[in-house]
Amino acid sequence: MVKKKELELYVGNCLYCNKGLYSNMGGWIASPKFEPTRVIRYFCHNGKDGSCFDKYCNFVHDLKLNAEMAHISTLETDWQNKPPYKQMIEKFLKDGKK
């Protein structure tokens, strides 16, 4: 019997740890961002504590709480694109790739 070879497509790299992600490997998640432009962000996510997606979500949640305490409206979808929050998120993602 001839085995069919699975088609493996490169999807992208994890935005946090820079690991290559492929279509047939599982354990990753796509997180769309629509503002200011439509971008799909990929993260490792194996369903266990400590995955890259969980770390990113926890960081953004804490950042959102701090923004609200500073009287910045987080109801607007672009609050993450405003200084200093944009720089804080970029630094968090850059530090994760080390």
For every residue of 50-97, DSSP letters joined together read: T-HHHHHHHHHHHHHHHHHHTT---SSTTGGGSTTHHHHHHHHHHHHT
Nearest Cα residue to 16 out of 88, 92, 81, 84: 92
- DSSP bridge partners of 46: none
Q: How confident is the model at residue 40 (pLDDT cuts 50, 70, 90)?
A: confident
**What distance separates the 2 farthest-apart alpha carbons in the chain?**
66
pTM for this model (two decimals): 0.77
- The percentage of residues in the chain with a pLDDT greater than 90, rounded to a whole number, is 20
